[in-house]
């Protein structure tokens, strides 16, 4: 398959506003080549660059990349270290370029257990790009949906105890407004590479009505063609949100 002219894609697709990607398969990509897992993660950073470029070119507004889960701390300490190091490296090397491309960087997840220098870099990336109006690049790092929901519930409970929220008014919107993603629209499409078909604690609240696309390639092999493949699958889906399909509602006259 060849890469399509982005202008054609824009007009011929029902584009998702927000795409989330579970970037999986770096280790297996490396193992298949008898390379250390770190090499797979390194090549994964190249795919991040390709994904950001392609998402921007295609006119996607929000791109959330799952880079490190709350559960990834259970990996060997050296691998955890390598993944932290790669994020630092990515921000140091790419921040100026992202800024130049008008990308707004956001990081979601818990910062509590991160090293001071990494926390500083994350803060810098957000501060430098905060007024940018192009692609919103959201990096989920030390992120877990269950932890996020627990944080939101704790915050809501504190506000109830201070008399700021009437518990009887709590609804789904209250929860959404207390998540890390409060001002970000829900993902329309979630892509997972590597063939695994699960969410692994990624945006579980926000993904309630997301379309899921599982790609049979490992993250280091991800490119614009793969993104277009996922977008094509997305555009052929019938999103009903609990209602009726467009053709069915036409038949019933509603």
Asked if 72 is an active-site residue, the reply is: yes
By beta-carbon proximity to Mg ion, the closer residue of 24 and 228 is 24
Give, in order, the Cα–Cα distances in Å from 107 to each of 2, 66, 147: 33, 10, 15
| Gap between the Cα atoms of 213 and 115, Å rounded | 34
Does residue number 26 form part of the binding site for ligand IPE (CB under 6 A)? yes
Least CB distance to ligand IPE at residue 200 (A): 4
Least CB distance to Mg ion at residue 62 (A): 23
Least CB distance to ligand IPE at residue 207 (A): 14
Give the interface size with ligand IPE as a residue count (CB under 6 A). Answer: 18
Between residue 21 and residue 80, which ones bind Mg ion under the rule CB under 5 A?
24
Of 25, 56, 109, 187, the one binding ligand IPE by CB under 6 A? 25
Helix (H) or strand (E) holding 142: strand 136-143
**Binding site partner of 90, from ligand IPE, Mg ion, none, Cβ cut-off 5-8 A by kind:** none
Name, in order, each residue with C-beta under 8 angstroms of 158's C-beta and a sequence gap of 6 or more.
Answer: none
Does residue number 144 form part of the binding site for ligand IPE (CB under 6 A)? no
Asked if 166 is an active-site residue, the reply is: no
Of the candidates 54, 10, 60, 66, the one whose C-alpha atom is nearest the C-alpha of residue 224 is 54
Give, in order, the Cα–Cα distances in Å from 11 to each of 8, 193, 229, 231, 252: 5, 26, 16, 13, 30
By beta-carbon proximity to ligand IPE, the closer residue of 178 and 218 is 218
Query: Which of 26-34, 49-57, 165-173, 241-249 is the region at the interface with ligand IPE (rule: CB under 6 A)?
Result: 26-34
Helix (H) or strand (E) holding 20: strand 18-22
By beta-carbon proximity to Mg ion, the closer residue of 13 and 214 is 214
DSSP for 150-210? Answer: HHHHHHHHHHHHTTSS-GGG--HHHHHHTSTTTTSPPPSEEEE-SS----TTSSTTGGGG-
Least CB distance to ligand IPE at residue 98 (A): 20
By beta-carbon proximity to Mg ion, the closer residue of 24 and 148 is 24
| Gap between the Cα atoms of 159 and 37, Å rounded | 44
Question: 120: which 2 tokens?
Answer: 């500083």
Binding site for Mg ion (CB under 5 A): 24
Binding site for ligand IPE (CB under 6 A): 22-28, 66-69, 72, 83, 194, 196, 198, 200, 219
Provide the annotated active-site residues: 24, 72
């Amino acid at each position: 398959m060849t890469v399509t002219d982005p202008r054609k894609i824009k007009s011929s697709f029902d584009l998702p506003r927000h795409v989330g990607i579970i970037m999986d398969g770096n280790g297996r990509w490396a193992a298949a080549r008898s390379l250390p897992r770190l090499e797979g993660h390194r090549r994964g950073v190249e795919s991040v660059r390709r994904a950001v470029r392609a998402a921007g070119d295609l006119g996607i507004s929000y791109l959330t990349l799952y880079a490190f889960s709350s559960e990834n701390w259970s990996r060997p300490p050296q691998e955890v270290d390598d993944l932290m190091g790669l994020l630092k490296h990515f921000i140091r090397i790419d921040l100026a370029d992202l800024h130049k491309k008008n990308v707004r960087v956001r990081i979601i997840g818990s910062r509590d257990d991160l090293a001071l220098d990494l926390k500083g870099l994350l803060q810098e990336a957000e501060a430098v790009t905060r007024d940018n109006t192009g692609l919103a690049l959201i990096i989920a790092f030390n992120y877990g949906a269950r932890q996020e929901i627990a944080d939101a519930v704790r915050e809501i409970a504190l506000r109830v105890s201070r008399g700021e929220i009437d518990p009887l008014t709590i609804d789904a919107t209250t929860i959404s407004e207390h998540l890390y993603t409060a001002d970000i629209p829900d993902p329309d499409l979630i892509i997972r590479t590597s063939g695994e078909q699960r969410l692994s604690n990624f945006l579980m609240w926000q993904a309630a009505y997301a379309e899921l696309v599982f790609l049979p390639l490992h993250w280091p092999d991800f490119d614009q063609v793969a993104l277009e493949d996922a977008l094509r699958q997305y555009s052929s889906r019938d999103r009903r949100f609990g209602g009726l399909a467009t053709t069915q509602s036409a038949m019933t006259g509603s």
